[in-house]
Structures are given as C-alpha cells and as structure tokens.
Structure 1
Amino acid sequence: MSKSIQQGAADVDNENRLRFSVSLVKQGKHQFYTLTMPSEVLARTCSVTTRKEDPEKGFQRELDAKRAKEIAEYIDRGLGTIPSSIVLSAQESAELKIVGRGKTIEFTDTPGAFLILDGQHRVYGFSKAKTSLRVPVVIYNGLSRTEETRLFIDINTKQKPVPSQLLLDIKQLADIETETEQTLRDIFDLFDKDRHSALAGYMSPAESARNKITRVTFNQAAKPLLGIFPGRESTEIYEILNSYVEALNIEIVKKTNEPLLSKPVVFRAFMAFFKPVAQRVVDKFGNEYSASNFHSVIAPVFQNMQIKKLEKPGTSWSKLKDYLEERLSSKLVL
C-alpha cells in the first residue's frame, strides 16, 4: 500500500482492502457516505458503462480523451483545485462494508469496484495526472441499475450549468482571458456602453435575453473578423464594425421597426457578410471605413429585398449569409 493511501485510510490487515473515515448522509429515501479519497485510488477502482459498451445496461457518455488530458494538465500545473465531489455507486466487487461503529468504510481495491455516476472525466483526468490529490467523494451502496440510472439522470438534469455568457463575462475577473477573448470583450463592451453605438440597447453582457445579443453570440460572429484587422486596437475595430452596423440600420429601418440585428441568426449572418462588403469598400474607397461608404455598397443588396428573409430567417445563419452574398455579387433585384 502506498504512503499516500496509508495516510488517508485506517489500518487494515488485507492489502487488497482499504478503509476510509466517512460520514453518513440521509436525503429522502436515499443515504450515502461522504469522504475524501486519493485520486490514484479513484483512478484504479472506478469505471463507467456507456451505451456503446453495453446497449442494454449502459447509460454514461463516452469518455473524451482531450478533456481528460486538459484536466490532468490542470492538476499537474498546480493551477487550482477541483472541489466538487465524485459520485460513485459501490459494485458487488467492492464488497463494501461499514465498520468502526459506522464511521469507516472498507472495500476491495480492485478495478470496477465503483461505478461513476458523476465525474467520469475528472477521474479519467486523475488517471493521466502525475500529481496525487485528495478528492471529495460521495458513495452510494446497494443501488440497483435502475436506481443508478435515475440518479445519473437527476444529477445531469437537475443541476443547471452556469450560462456560457456569464462565464465569458467574468473571465476578466478570474484573469484567465486569452488575448482574443480580451479583444472581443473590449469590442462588445464598446457596443454595449459607447453612446455612439449602433447596437445600443441590443447587448446583454451576462445573461440570455429576448432581442439581445449575448457575448457568446457576439464572439461567435466577430471572432472570424479579427484576422482582417492585424495590428489594430480594439477601439479601431469597434469603430469600423460600428460604421458597418450603422449602414445596415439605415436600410433595416426603411423596411421594419423590428430590431432584426438582435436576432442571433441575422446578426451572425451580417457579421459574416462583413468581409465581402469590406472588400468592396476597400476597392472603391481605400481604407475609408465610414458608414456612408459601407452604405453605398450594401444599399443595392437591400433593394427590393423580401424583408421576411430577415424577419423569419430560420436557423441557419450561413444560408442567410450566402443569400446576401449572392445579392451583393449580382446586385440582383427580386
């Protein structure tokens, strides 16, 4: 038995049996044990059963090796902690027993002793890491496969994940933004707060909202455009994109009062449409990215356009972008 295991487990005569101090927790009809366990013990005693491996009884997702590798690197770099509990169900091979007046569990140190109900990628990451951690663990005992499956469903549906737009909004506070994310955040914030913003009132920094552009939608739309502006500051990129949106608004307002650009599909389509429009502007006016120059290029695209294309764009922004590009290239009047 390794030194790290001995420090966390009670003495036990059989080398293949491990003991750990636990607390019993009762919730409704269920009860489980909480404890901490060395990550290497989890790595060698836990398993998952996927639908692919066992179509009749499997219920887990397939393991993502890339995600597990990222977890292992995170652990080995000492970048932070993983405080959330791994949730397990003891299997028959564990031969789990409660000893020491209910304060200690004993089980067999063998592969497949526990089925993972939550945390399979963390455990997979532990197996790839060189560093040992003490990990919070919850162990259920005596569950049927039906009960295990129901718990898996409850864990993965009742716990609402943090919205992606909130995570993007607070990355700055955590000081973990990439350079690209910082640039996108700066541009988004200018569209949100600048008094000259053509998207004023359309931005939603931290949560999803009807007729609002979230950071997730904005980043997906604007990130591909950053390569057009090498060496430019965020404020310069914002000014160019803002002039483009101003030109779009001139034509959109002529056709409807509906905030069409706040529709994610419409917004992403028009942002993807920026590249060919910008190239036309450069061809005609050089690097003068003014709203009037953008407008001179896009005005023919809107001529006799069926506004329903924008009011009810469907779910594919790329199809709408292709439609706009066709009109730009041919100046087709429908």
Structure 2
Amino acid sequence: MVDAVKSDKADLANENRLRYSVSLVTQGKHQFYTLTVPSAVLAATCAVTTRKEDPKLGFQRELDEKRALEIANYIDNDVGTIPNSIVLSAQPIADLKIVGRGKTLEFNNVPAAFLILDGQHRVYGFSKAKTSLRVPVVIYNGLSRKEETRLFIDINTKQRPVPAQLLLSIKQLAEIESEAEEVLRDVFDHFDQDMDSSLAGYMSAAEAARNKITRVTFNAAVKPLLPIFSGRESGDIYRIMNAYISAISTELSKKTAAPLLAKPVVFRAFMGVFRSIAQRVVDRYDAEYSASNFQSIISPLFVNLPIKKLETPGTSWTALRDYLDNRLISKLTL
C-alpha cells in the first residue's frame, strides 16, 4: 500500500493539468461541483489561510498535528472510512474549467489551487497516511473572500455535532467501548433504571438536560473512583455508591426539598469527597457500606452547612469539593 501511495504521488508530479468527472449541484444562490479526488491530489493542491498567517484575510483555525495523526492512524490501522466531503474553494491559480460537455472538471496541478473551507484536518491527515484514498469533494468556484468566509461560518455554526452523551450511549452498539466505559455505562444504567436508585429522575441518558446528570457528567465524576473498586462488578459498585448517595440525599432533605444532587457541580463535588468518606467507613465499620454507615460519617459535614452554598454553587466543582473536604476534616472526631 505504501508503494501505491508513492506511485500516486509520482504520477501526480508528472501531470500539469488534472481531470475528474463531476456533477453540478445548485443549492439556493450557490452552485458547486461534486466529485471524488485521490487523497494525494488533495495533499498537493489544497491550502488553508489562518488568522495568524494572514491577519486581514485569514479565517481558518490553526492545524492540530495530533488530530491529523489520529486521522492518519485511523485510515492506516483501523481501515477507516471517512465519507464526509471536503469543501474547497477554487483559487484563480487553479484555472478551473469545465470540459467534456460539462461532465469533466479540469484544473492546474499546483500548490494552493484550492482553499479548504471544511476538512482541513482530514486533508492534513490524508497527507500523513500511508494509505491512498478516493475522497468525496465539493468545489465552489469564483467565490470572493467574503463569500468564502461566510460559507466557513455557516458550515461551522449550522452543523451541530452529535452530543457527547449520545455518543457514549451508543458506543455499546458500535462495540468500541473501553473496559472503563462499559463499567460506567452499567453503573449509570443502574442509577437510571433501578427502582431503588437514589438518583431516580435525575439522570439523562442520551441528551443534555438542565439540572440532570448526563453520561458525560457521570463518567467525569465516577471514572477517577474506579481504581478503588478494582475487582468489583458494576452491580456491586452501584450498590456502594447508591448507599453513599442515599445518605447524602437524606441529609440534604433535612435542609431543602430541592433536588440539589441533580446539579452537575454539586454531584461532582460530592463524588470528589467519596474516597475520603469511604475510607472512614472502612476504618469505623469494617467496610460495611450501608446507607446508615455512610450517613453517620457524612452527617457532621451538614451541621450548620449554609444551604446557599449548594443552591448556588457556581461553576467550579473542585472549589465546592475542597470546601466539603475541609468541612469533613474540621468535623472529624476520634
């Protein structure tokens, strides 16, 4: 395959003009051409203009080499497929022409013949891959820099990415979960679905929701705790954590009826002090992780706790965690 790539690049170097079959598409006031182009051609003829390179006319983001290498690795080692079209704007130097009764597009084989409007990291990744690909491409012709910039803005604001919580939810279907992600998914689903869940009604499995705990929030809060559950099944992890959260909920209910644990900052902060509290349960109750044992450890933390601290916790869960941890230490008795 490496030899094939070298051959493609060698053949390309000997061609002054390149030709490809195209279709003309009209959308609104714009027309563009759709075609497929070898990845080596894209690497040789496409360019970006960033604000750093050209403060007046640049509009692209800085290239991230790590991201490009991830794309190249995906193509080479995972036999990946990337069907999304690269969106280009032909530059005057390309001397773009339609020949062959309107079915063939011809352009100069020169650097910067095309400005990339969408897909700069894919093109960069293609250039670093050992595998040669045929890539779907959309080419606009005759655009001004204002029109190019507006298209760039539209492409990057109108197209919404898939929510991270949905991606986590469907990774199981794609069979690409890591071992940790599988455990986190199982524990989350227990909290979401079990009748005895202390977070019943607080979970949002596949989409973001105000004052709900998403998979993204849950994973960020619980993943650092997985090492202390080493060797335990997900059901056992759920049982221990559910007892802990039930103890917190009981203490919170003495101060307010508001579902404060549904606030992501509050949830992450209490998960942040779990390790310290669990260690005290181990020491005092010989690792009997019941809700009542957790409550006996955590209840002093709530004595004279200003409930406003949890009702309006701000945006920093680490600051709230440190506050709770300091209260826990100050209430320690032997």
Aligned ranges 1:249-268 → 2 under 5 Å: 249-268=249-268
Structure 1: how far apart are the matches of 2:60 and 2:280?
51
Residue 235 of structure 1 and its aligned partner are, at CA, apart by 1.1
Residue 79 of structure 1 and its aligned partner are, at CA, apart by 3.3
Closer/same/farther in 2, CA of residues 190 and 226 from structure 1, 3 Å limit: same
Residue 94 of structure 1 and its aligned partner are, at CA, apart by 1.1
Q: 1:300 corresponds to which residue?
A: 300
2:90–2:140 Cα contact (<8 Å) kept: yes
Structure 2: how far apart are the matches of 1:210 and 1:227?
30
Structure 1: how far apart are the matches of 2:67 and 2:15?
33
Deviations 1:283-333 (A, max 9, x none): 21222111111111110000111101111111110110011011001129x
Structure 2: how far apart are the matches of 1:118 and 1:134?
17
- Give the match's secondary structure for 1:49: coil
Q: 2:171 corresponds to which residue?
A: 171
1:46–1:111 Cα contact (<8 Å) kept: yes
1:188–1:215 Cα contact (<8 Å) kept: yes
1:39–1:126 Cα contact (<8 Å) kept: yes
1:93–1:108 Cα contact (<8 Å) kept: yes
Deviations 1:18-50 (A, max 9, x none): 000101111111111000001111111111111
- Give the match's secondary structure for 1:255: coil
Q: 2:102 corresponds to which residue?
A: 102
Residue 6 of structure 1 and its aligned partner are, at CA, apart by 11
Structure 2: how far apart are the matches of 1:19 and 1:99?
9
Closer/same/farther in 2, CA of residues 5 and 103 from structure 1, 3 Å limit: farther
Counterpart amino acid of residue 258 in structure 1: A
Structure 2: how far apart are the matches of 1:292 and 1:143?
69
Structure 2: how far apart are the matches of 1:15 and 1:118?
26
2:8–2:40 Cα contact (<8 Å) kept: no
In structure 2, the gaps of 5 or more residues are none
Closer/same/farther in 2, CA of residues 112 and 57 from structure 1, 3 Å limit: same
2:45–2:112 Cα contact (<8 Å) kept: yes
Shifted more, 247-256 versus 47-56: the winner is 47-56
Residue 15 of structure 1 and its aligned partner are, at CA, apart by 2.1
Counterpart amino acid of residue 67 in structure 1: R
2:99–2:106 Cα contact (<8 Å) kept: yes
Task: State TM-score, norm by structure 1.
Answer: 0.94
1:5–1:38 Cα contact (<8 Å) kept: no
2:87–2:138 Cα contact (<8 Å) kept: yes
In structure 1, the gaps of 5 or more residues are none
Closer/same/farther in 2, CA of residues 79 and 177 from structure 1, 3 Å limit: farther
Structure 1: how far apart are the matches of 2:47 and 2:236?
53
Deviations 1:252-279 (A, max 9, x none): 1111111101111111111111111112
Q: 1:216 corresponds to which residue?
A: 216
Structure 1: how far apart are the matches of 2:8 and 2:35?
15
Q: 1:15 corresponds to which residue?
A: 15
Structure 1: how far apart are the matches of 2:61 and 2:181?
30
Counterpart amino acid of residue 133 in structure 1: L
Q: 2:40 corresponds to which residue?
A: 40
Aligned ranges 1:1-334 → 2 under 5 Å: 15-331=15-331
- Give the match's secondary structure for 1:310: helix
Residue 80 of structure 1 and its aligned partner are, at CA, apart by 3.2
- Give the match's secondary structure for 2:101: coil
Percent sequence identity over aligned pairs? 72
Structure 1: how far apart are the matches of 2:127 and 2:6?
16
Structure 2: how far apart are the matches of 1:153 and 1:293?
56
2:163–2:207 Cα contact (<8 Å) kept: yes
Closer/same/farther in 2, CA of residues 6 and 104 from structure 1, 3 Å limit: farther
Structure 2: how far apart are the matches of 1:140 and 1:251?
62
Structure 2: how far apart are the matches of 1:71 and 1:3?
22
Structure 2: how far apart are the matches of 1:158 and 1:83?
19
How many residues align? The count is 327
Structure 1: how far apart are the matches of 2:66 and 2:284?
47
After superposition, the CA RMSD in angstroms is 1.8
Structure 1: how far apart are the matches of 2:188 and 2:246?
16
Residue 96 of structure 1 and its aligned partner are, at CA, apart by 1.1
